[in-house]
Amino acid sequence: MKPPPQPTVFLTGATGYIGGRLAPRLLDRGYRVRCCVRSAAKLRARPWASREGVEVVEADVSDGAHLAEAMRGCVGAYYLVHSMDGAGGGYRGRDRALAATFGMAAAEAGVPRIIYLGGLGEVGSGLSEHLASRREVEAALGSAGVPVTALRAAMIIGSGSASFEILRYLVERLPVMITPRWVSTECQPIAVRDVLHYLIASLENPATAGRAIDIGGPEVRSYEAIMREMAQALGLRRRLIIPVPVLSPRLSSLWIHLITPLHSGIARPLAEGLRNRVVCRNDDAARLMPHTCLGIRAAMDAALAKIHAGSVETSWSDAGIMPGDPPWAGGTVFTDRREIDTAAAPDAAWRAVCALGGGRGYYGADWLWRIRGIMDRLCGGPGLRRGRRDAADLRLGDALDFWRVTEIHPPRHLELRAEMLLPGVATLTFDVGPSPTVPGGSRITMTARFGPRGLAGIAYWYAVLPLHGIVFRSMLNGLVRAAERGMDPQPPSR
């Protein structure tokens, strides 16, 4: 007898932090997963993307007709799309419009359920703009009549989550913290594994349809208490925390930007939301989806174990936009091309190339890279602090310090696009192949390209050009040394 067809679910945000972990767990539960993404190539770089049951739809969430066609036949649709950059304003309107389009497309396609992960918080007029936007998205998703299950979570504790990284970096780097009054606000954190449980359980329980369900761990603590718990989990001395009444959300977000890997545009809505008490207001999760959640310390220990083992599944930085043709395509492009031969085999040279950045650094003139990273952070860019998801493995879309992996064809070609603040667009590519002069060896070719924007871009290129001789030559020589001696399994501490 032919087995019954597997139910298909529609998933947005599959290359993001939550979606990238949810998809393989849905596959494990026997679902087919139809992933709606902006870049199919970026999704295919995920280790689970080649599994049976994965379907890829390359579409924009603003294209309602395309969405409706892609959703047909699905038993449920996950909406995991968020605009976090509030620096320019207007993100609330964009989020409402996208959610309304998604809801109408689901209704047209006959999808019976929408599941949305939003933010926990008090109701009423006192919500921060970020949390108020999440409520508006809930309403917009259901505006066309499709039942919405809105799961509301506070701080998510997990390796690579934005809120966890803020917490970890602040506690690690600051033995004394001058903080806003929000450190006394109560919060009910939840482990990422428990969030994933509720996302799947809500799909499988029809009684959750049309409900807003608060999800949280078993403990309610102030942010100050959570920071002290983090210090203990990290094995650090007790932190001195001094609340003051004068730090605005803007100042807080700039401080977070300077100390942690997060950009101020992402940090600001998070900082604004910290003034709201975020505690579960209903017990629907326990009643409809019984489950034992991890406590705060157990969740922290699990997340830190993943980080120390180098097995972080997804990171907050995974959600960066994959560029297509750069705006300067066809215009002036400055090029600096260098190559070097080594006795190391091409596969060894490729491994050395793929280990660039993060804790290992750039194989030479690291002090110059650190200065450049500090300058970028001070100007509002990501700097070097984002690091990398894995010490040795790279995949399309990964963040690497202030770069983004925009092309990778193992074992021969890697392209990094700069996300640092620049008056233009910069890429750094590495090509590895057999050496024409060293039998059994390899040749590494490194090419820096820069498309300037106006006179400022041209001036920038000529200003940094003399430093290329130091930085790039040191990097190539260091790559050769690493390839020829074999690299340490773990990068040195930075």
Q: Say what the pLDDT of residue 166 is.
A: 81
Q: Map out the domains of the chain as residue ranges.
A: 8-318, 323-485
Q: Say what the pLDDT of residue 447 is.
A: 93
Q: Is domain 323-485 given the CATH code 3.40.50.2300 in the classification?
A: no
Residue ranges in the chain modelled with pLDDT below 70? 1-4, 83-90, 121-128, 130, 245-275, 319-332, 454, 487-494
Confirm whether pTM is higher than 0.75.
no
Nearest to 235 by CA among 154, 325, 141, 171: 171
Question: Quick check: bond before 112 cis, omega within 30?
Answer: no
DSSP states of 317-375: GGGPPPP-S-TTTTS--EEEEEEEEESS-HHHHHHHHHT-BGGGBTSS-HHHHHHHHHH
Nearest to 273 by CA among 163, 158, 386, 115: 163
**Dihedral of alpha carbons 5, 9, 10, 16, sign:** negative
> What tens digit of pLDDT does each residue of 360-379 get?
899 988 888 889 888 888 88
- CA distance to 14, 100, 361, per residue, from 36 (Å): 7, 17, 35
CATH class of 8-318: alpha beta
Please report which residue ranges of 365-437 form alpha helices under DSSP H: 366-378
> What tens digit of pLDDT does each residue of 341-362 get?
999 999 999 999 999 998 889 9
**Dihedral of alpha carbons 153, 129, 95, 213, sign:** positive
CA angle 41, 47, 51 (to 5 degrees): 90
